[in-house]
Amino acid sequence: MTASSLAAQPTGQAGENKQQQGQGNSIMQGASQNDERPSVQYQLNKKYHDYKDGVFMVRAGGGSKVSPLTLFFPNHAEIKVGEKVVFYNPTKVGEPHTVTFTIDNSTFADFVAPFIIGNKTSITSAVPNANAEPIVMPGQNGTNLIIALNIRSMMPTVIDSTGKVTYLPPNANYTFTGTEKYVNSGWIWPKGQSPQGLPPIDSFTVTFSKAGTYNYYCQVHPWMDGDVVVK
Ligand SMILES: [Cu+2]
Spacing, Cα 20 to ligand 1 middle (Å):
34
Spacing, Cα 60 to ligand 1 middle (Å):
7
pLDDT tens by residue, 42-74: 666 666 678 999 999 999 998 888 888 899 999
Per-chain residues with Cβ under 5 A from ion ligand 1: 97, 218, 220-221, 224
Question: Is 39 in a helix, a strand, or coil?
Answer: helix
| Percentage above 90 pLDDT, the chain | 66
pLDDT tens by residue, 169-219: 999 999 999 999 999 999 999 999 998 888 999 999 999 999 999 999 999
Query: Above 50 in pLDDT, residue 19?
Result: no
Output 3 or 52, whichever has higher pLDDT: 52
Spacing, Cα 220 to ligand 1 middle (Å):
5
Spacing, Cα 223 to ligand 1 middle (Å):
8
**Of 83, 100, 86, 56, the residue nearest 231 (C-alpha):** 83
Q: How confident is the model at residue 156 (pLDDT cuts 50, 70, 90)?
A: very high
**Mean pLDDT (the chain, rounded):** 84
Least confident range from 54-68, 82-96, 101-115: namely 54-68
pLDDT at 200: 94
Distance, C-alpha 231 to centroid of its chain? 26
Spacing, Cα 157 to ligand 1 middle (Å):
17
Spacing, Cα 198 to ligand 1 middle (Å):
16
Query: Above 70 in pLDDT, residue 17?
Result: no
Spacing, Cα 45 to ligand 1 middle (Å):
16
Query: Above 50 in pLDDT, residue 22?
Result: no
Spacing, Cα 99 to ligand 1 middle (Å):
8
pLDDT at 44: 66
pLDDT tens by residue, 120-139: 888 998 889 999 999 999 99
Indicate if the alpha-carbon torsion angle 33, 38, 40, 43 is positive or negative: positive
Spacing, Cα 228 to ligand 1 middle (Å):
17
- Show the domains of the chain with their CATH numbers: 30-105+152-230 (2.60.40.420), 113-147 (no CATH)
Residues 6 or more apart whose Cβ sits within 8 Å of residue 110: 150, 153, 219
> pTM of the predicted model, to two decimals?
0.79
